[in-house]
Structure 1
Amino acid sequence: GLKTVSLADGENAFMRRIMERIEICGTSANISGMPPPSTLSGALKQLGEELTLAVDGGPSLYRIGHTVIDLSSKPPKLIRSGPYNSKKLFELFPELMGEEEGLPDELVKGKSIIDLSPEVDIKASSKGD
């Protein structure tokens, strides 16, 4: 493992309400190197009995993993493009380093990020916006 931590904002409204009230520490729903599952049954196939709790919020809105930005480096670095429009990320954060069009295909196990990205629009905000 790395000496860093990942922060995520869940897409599921129920889980967001829980995360507003308690701190949750967990792992991603896939084994490193495996494609991210988009359903609970897919996560259970990969992680099985390793899970303590699983919430079925229906299928994921996206078929690829989250956007990952390494904030421990200066300037920050785009590690994985994910579902967000990477061009918009670079417009919002001009100091961001990384591939504007996403990562090389071999890093997403043969699936092109560009082909799978649903061009989700994003905006910068702070807590309370």
Structure 2
Amino acid sequence: MEVEIIKVSAKLAEDELTKVIKYLEEEKTVIFPTDTVYGIGSDLFKEKAVKRLFEIKRRPLDKPINALVSSMKQVQMIVEDIPDLAVKLMEEFWPGGLTIILKKKEIVPDIVTAGKKTIGVRKPNNKIILQILNKFGKPLAATSANISGLPSPITANEAIQQLGKEGYLVIDGGKTFEQQPSTIIDLSSKNPLILRKGSVNVEELKKIVPSIIE
């Protein structure tokens, strides 16, 4: 099956959105813009769909995949507990380029988290992917739309060049504006820990989390 491309400026038309949701419901993968880089995602709760993500990216199965959400309700679907500190960070930096690692619920398939008891969650600051998440009604398993280990794409064309031209739907929303991956903070243990520096400045995080470990 050839790649199908939907070009979008501001948001998806209703028929385009319906097509995207149909893809996801059929356990297929979709490439989309976010605020940081282009992502590739699938239904988080369907192992077959998540496995396809790993295959397309050539990603080792021992590397977890994060979740994209559009609401606190969607966070609660997959996270065991949301500590007060996480809520403060969400209020300050969401939607935006901050991924927060929290303890996952058992309902989250192990393939998503590489068998770990935690999952990274983020609400992106991009109208197109938020439109999809709102309509789909549940989180997406999502990761950057690149071959594992290669640079993250900031355009749909860069993603297609890396991943090939078969087996997924592409939403081309133009160049991403952050053009770097999200910052990742782990709140699953006693001491908050920065796992990756990215689009949210660590100094800004320290204003809310002075005890953060880099």
TM-score surpassing 0.5?
Answer: yes
Matches of 1:58 and 1:75 in 2, distance apart? Answer: 38
* TM norm structure 2: 0.41
Shift of 1:73: 3.1
Question: Hey, what does 2:39 align to over in structure 1?
Answer: none
Matches of 2:147 and 2:180 in 1, distance apart? Answer: 14
Q: Secondary structure at the match of 1:54?
A: strand
**Structure 2 residue identity aligned to 1:11:** N
Q: Secondary structure at the match of 1:68?
A: strand
Match of 2:154 among 38, 43, 62: 38
Q: Deviations over 1:39-73 (max 9, x none)?
A: 11111112224652322221111222111112333
Distance 1:68 1:50, change over 3 A: farther
**Structure 2 residue identity aligned to 1:88:** E
1:9 aligns with 2:143: no
Q: By percentage of residues, which structure has more strand?
A: 2
Q: Secondary structure at the match of 1:25?
A: strand
Shift of 1:9: 1.9
Runs of 4+ in 1 over 6 A off after TM superposition: none
* Runs of at least 5 residues in structure 2 that lack an aligned partner in the other structure: 1-61, 63-113
Match of 1:84 among 191, 200, 204: 200
Distance 1:43 1:56, change over 3 A: same
CA root-mean-square deviation: 2.0
Q: Is the 8 A contact 1:39 1:59 kept in 2?
A: yes
Identity %: 37
* Runs of at least 5 residues in structure 1 that lack an aligned partner in the other structure: 99-129
Question: Hey, what does 1:62 align to over in structure 2?
Answer: 178
Name which one, 1 or 2, has greater alpha-carbon Rg.
Answer: 2
**Structure 1 residue identity aligned to 2:119:** V
Higher relative contact order (CA 8 A, sep 6+): 2
Distance 1:36 1:93, change over 3 A: same
**Structure 2 residue identity aligned to 1:48:** G
Matches of 1:21 and 1:65 in 2, distance apart? Answer: 25
* TM norm structure 1: 0.64
- For 1:79-118, list aligned pairs within 5 A: 79-98=195-214
Q: Is the 8 A contact 2:186 2:193 kept in 1?
A: yes
Q: Secondary structure at the match of 1:72?
A: coil
